[in-house]
Every structure is written in structure tokens, then in C-alpha cells.
Amino acid sequence: MSAPLRRPFLPNPYTVQDTFYQQRHLYPVLIYIHGGDFVEGSGNFYGARKLLMNEDVVLVTFNYRLGIFGFLSSGDENIPGNYGLLDQIFAIKWVQKYIQRFGGNPTRVTIFGDVGYLLFSPLSGGLFQGAIWTTNSGSMFSPPGNKSLMLNPKEFTQEIATAAGCTT
């Protein structure tokens, strides 16, 4: 006697659960990471959806923390920063773990968009097999839109704390 087959809960009402879950062929996965100098932007990128509508791929987009919520740093271990990049890595790990349930192949994952930092991060090693670093995403060697976040992190964090009424 075998256990009954359990299907995952998929919250999207427009997804045909049985079709994806029982599929034998798994499609390549494209993960779009939006740009915006780490201070603006969104994973809600309609251009990619239209561009890939007739392709046999699974497209994944997501949001990550931006501005002070994603990159505020005191320059030490108290507030190390880079939470936005950690969000990106967590999202890619989630894709690796669950993408088969959506018809995607976890061994054929390509990231594209503003991916420069992920290409050089040891934390993202082995999470994707390909990358397309778009030209409009700039260079990881140029500072983000809010230069004070990167150039003087401790001073900038102190200014934010003072403005918020924090004493320590």
C-alpha cells in the first residue's frame, strides 16, 4: 500500500496545479532581479513577461529590501547591512527548493538583470548555472544611487538614528 500523492498548495488561482505537478518535462528557469541603484524598483516587470510569453521557460521575479531597509550599515557587526542582497540570495534558494512544483528545472537556473553583486558573492555559489548581466544595471564598482549609504556608512547610520530619535 502506498501513501496518497500530496499536491502542494499554490495560491495563484490561475495556475493549473495538476498540469505543473504531474509534468515530466521541466523547463529552464529565468530569475529576473530588478535594478534601481538599490533605492527603487520592483520585480513587477511586465516587459519580461511579454517577451517570454511564448517561450518554454519559467520566469521568476521578486522584490527585495531597498534603501535604508536593505542597505543601512553601521560599518561593524551591529548593523552589517546588505540585507537586500541577502533577500536576493534567499529568493534564489527558495527557487532552488520549490521550482520543480511549478514546472521548473532547478539545475537550469539563469539569473538576469542587476546581478553583478551576486556573480561575485560566495554566498550565491552553486545557486544558478547562468547569468545575464544587463548593461543598464551599471557596474558593481560604481556606488549606488544614495552614495552616503556606501561612502560613510557609520556616519549615515548615525544621522538616521538621530533623526528617528534613537540614542544608541
pLDDT tens digits, one per residue of 37-77: 777 787 786 666 676 777 889 999 999 998 888 787 777 88
- Give the separation between CA 67 and CA 15, rounded to whole angstroms: 33
pLDDT tens digits, one per residue of 16-25: 455 555 557 8
Residues with Cβ within 8 Å of 100's Cβ and at least 6 positions away in sequence, in order, are 26, 106
pTM for this prediction = 0.73
Q: Which amino acid is at 59?
A: L
Closest CA to 36 of 59, 6, 11, 64: 64
The whole-number pLDDT of residue 134 equals: 81
Longest Cα–Cα distance in the chain: 66
The whole-number pLDDT of residue 73 equals: 79
pLDDT tens digits, one per residue of 80-100: 878 888 999 999 999 999 999
The whole-number pLDDT of residue 90 equals: 96
- Give the separation between CA 46 and CA 79, rounded to whole angstroms: 35
pLDDT band at 27 (very low <50, low <70, confident <90, very high): very high
- Give the separation between CA 85 and CA 92, rounded to whole angstroms: 11
Backbone angles phi, psi at 2, to 5 degrees: -110, 155
pLDDT tens digits, one per residue of 115-152: 888 988 999 999 999 999 885 555 555 555 545 456 67
Domain ranges of the chain: 17-163
Q: Which amino acid is at 143?
A: P
